[in-house]
Structure formats: C-alpha cells, structure tokens
C-alpha cells in the first residue's frame, strides 16, 4: 500500500503544463490533442510517496496509471531489477483499460511525487468526452504496433 506523506492534491498550474508534456509522450495518449490532455490532467491526483514504498505490486490487479513528477523509482520483476524510472517516466497505462495483474513492482528509491489517474476517473472522463475514445484507440494501436515491431527484431 502507498505511504502518502502529504494529502493528495490536484495538479497545480505549473505542474499541469509539465504533466501535459509528459502525457504526450505516453503512447496511449500520443494521438490526443492538447485540449484532451488538459482534460486528463483535471482527473489526476498528485501524491507524495516516501522512499522505499511500493507504488505498484506485481500480481495485484492494476487500477491506475502513474507519471513520475519528482524523484526516482526502481522496477522489479520476480524480485530482479529490470529498470529505473525518473522524472517524466510513466507506468501502468494499460491498467486504465484492463485490470489485469501487474507484471512488476515499482518501488520508490527516493521520496517521489506522482500524478495518478485511476481507472474509474478515466472511464468517467471518457463518458464526458466521447470524442477522445478514437484518439486513445489510435494511441493504443501505436503502442501495440511498437511492441510487435520490437518482438520481431
């Protein structure tokens, strides 16, 4: 479970532009307009997490997407380090579409600040902005195409 250091808050004005630029790099959101991404930022919460705390745990059902705004984290699969995350990196975007078990742990190596978009907020957002669905599907197709290309190489 997350150990929250401070109350969750919405995205501040300066953070909003920063978050929009990070979201534009996420394949799922890559086909969204700036206006779409502004809508997304209104549905996220910013959370402070202590170093050493697990943000997500392998095997647990996914229910949120995260963008790392400050600090660093490590990705572990089957207790083996498989990656490191820093400012602007993201993880868990597929949990917005499918609550399948997480395939890795993400653990804060320093105190971190993340923007978190939970699946229920994401679904509410899509109902209120249905035109975004097509752009998200195009972004998801890009992610699948990129993964397919990597598996062939």
Reported as a single tens digit per residue, the pLDDT across 129-153 is: 888 888 888 877 877 787 778 777 6
Give the separation between CA 128 and CA 3, rounded to whole angstroms: 32
Long-range contacts of 74-83 (CB under 8 A, 24+ apart): 74/106, 74/107, 74/109, 75/104, 75/105, 75/106, 76/104, 76/105, 76/106, 76/107, 77/103, 77/104, 77/105
Q: Indicate whether 1 belongs to any domain.
A: no
pLDDT per residue as tens digits for the range 61-77: 999 999 999 999 999 99
82 found inside a domain: yes
What whole-number percentage of the chain has pLDDT above 90?
45
Tell me 28's DSSP state: G
Does 120 map to a domain? yes
**What's the total number of domains in the chain?**
1
| Structure tokens that stand for 78 in this block | 């089957």
Residue 117, domain extent: 13-152
What's the pTM value of the predicted model, to 2 decimals? 0.80
């Amino acid at each position: 479970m997350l150990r929250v250091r401070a109350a969750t808050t919405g995205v501040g004005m300066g953070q909003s532009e920063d978050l929009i630029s990070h979201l534009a790099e996420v394949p799922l959101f890559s086909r969204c307009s700036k206006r779409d991404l502004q809508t997304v930022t209104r549905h996220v919460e910013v959370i402070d997490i202590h170093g050493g705390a697990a943000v997500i745990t392998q095997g647990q059902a996914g229910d949120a997407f995260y963008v790392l705004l400050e600090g660093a984290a490590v990705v572990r699969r089957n207790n083996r380090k498989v990656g490191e995350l820093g400012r602007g990196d993201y993880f868990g975007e597929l949990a917005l579409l499918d609550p399948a078990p997480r395939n890795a742990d993400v653990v804060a190596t320093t105190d971190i600040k993340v923007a978190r978009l939970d699946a229920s907020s994401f679904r509410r957002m899509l109902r209120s902005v249905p035109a975004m669905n097509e752009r998200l599907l195009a972004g998801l197709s890009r992610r699948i195409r990129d993964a397919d290309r990597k598996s062939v190489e």
